[in-house]
Amino acid sequence: MWFVFGLAAAICFGIRGILYQWTSQRRVNRSALLFGVYLSGMLVATLMNMAMGQKWTDGAWWGVLMGGFSFVANASMYKGYAVGKASLIALLTGLPPLVVALGAFALWGETLGLGQLAGFAIVLAGLIAIRYSSDLRIGQLHGLIWGLLTLFFFGFTDLTSKQSTISGAETLPTLILMYATGTLLFAGQWLLGSLSSSRTRREIAAAATETAVSTETAATTKTASPTETAVSITAALTTPSATEPASEAHKQASANLPAAAAWTTKRTVVWGMTVGLTNIAGMMFLIPAFQEGSTGIVSALGAMNAAIVLAYAKFYLKEEMRRAEAIGMALALGGIVVMRLAS
């Protein structure tokens, strides 16, 4: 049954990845969106536990660490989809089994067979092929960095998920603490971003006022034309905000969107809560799978969500892949399958 749970988790996480990529191309507040994702998970887990009455144990506190790791992983994945190629980010989100299998060996002595080692070698060969693909220019390298952060922190999330089951924690209490932690972290990030944005707007307003005063003073010796004054004030008001995306790719994508595409806070949070249903569903399948199955193999099954997002990137987004990149992705996914079959 753990095998079915692992596949179900992969499907849920694959849908989550597609929704993240689609949303990342809209004008939304990222922190507000991910706050909604985790708030939804916390509410669903709490309501289900009220109905099922799972016991709270000390092992459930591992959920706090899971929430911290998941916070970094989800924020990195969303950022990666915003600035990099969807296919590359999807591939890297499929590689946490590398971290998990090695961590399981170091922490709990779960050994790797020859087949698993062969799978790792194939995966590493795929990564090398992708790294040296000529298609990875500066924009894609930015996405690669975020993808690698996603890889490692999803791996850490899986390891702490396994540790929670070893500690005898029930699924729902662990998830409540995990999502509560993530909700608080994203709420804090949202608040800091709002404060920074407000400070920037005040600075722009002050600059505009100073420009207007300077222009009025100069008018006593030289009469400024209305056009000059308008240009000065407009330049101050259009100074880029510190909260704008740093990525050139994201700037270009935003520039192509009409002003009406900006989402309200309410719409962003509600949509985040909708996306969060796929996230909580995946975790509810994944943790029971960890209880019964091998850590590395369950993680590999869950990571097969990459295949879903890769298919979306290829057939819906029509992303082009050079030969070295395509070979690398095929090797990496094939390596995951070998690890699964060999265990």
Give the start-to-end residue ranges of the domains of the chain. Answer: 2-195+243-341
| Nearest Cα to Cα of residue 154 among 103, 108, 97, 80 | 97
| Rounded mean pLDDT, 230-254 | 42
Give dist(CA 249, CA 230) in Å, integer: 30
Burial class (CB in 10 A: 0-12, 13-18, 19+), 132: exposed
Percent of residues, the chain, with pLDDT higher than 90: 31
Give dist(CA 191, CA 39) in Å, integer: 15
Q: Say which DSSP state 262 is in.
A: P
Q: Residue 36 — very low, low, confident or very high, per pLDDT cuts 50/70/90?
A: very high
Q: Residue 127 — very low, low, confident or very high, per pLDDT cuts 50/70/90?
A: low
Tokens of 46: 């709490």
Of the listed ranges 38-52, 123-137, 141-155, 267-281, the least confidently predicted one is 123-137
Amino acid code (one letter) for 36? G
Cβ neighbours around 182 below 10 Å, total: 31
Higher pLDDT, 114 or 172: 172
Q: Which of 87-91, 271-275, 323-327 has the highest mean pLDDT?
A: 271-275
Of the listed ranges 119-133, 138-152, 212-226, the least confidently predicted one is 212-226
Give dist(CA 75, CA 149) in Å, integer: 9
Tokens of 86: 């969807």
Q: Residue 209 — very low, low, confident or very high, per pLDDT cuts 50/70/90?
A: confident
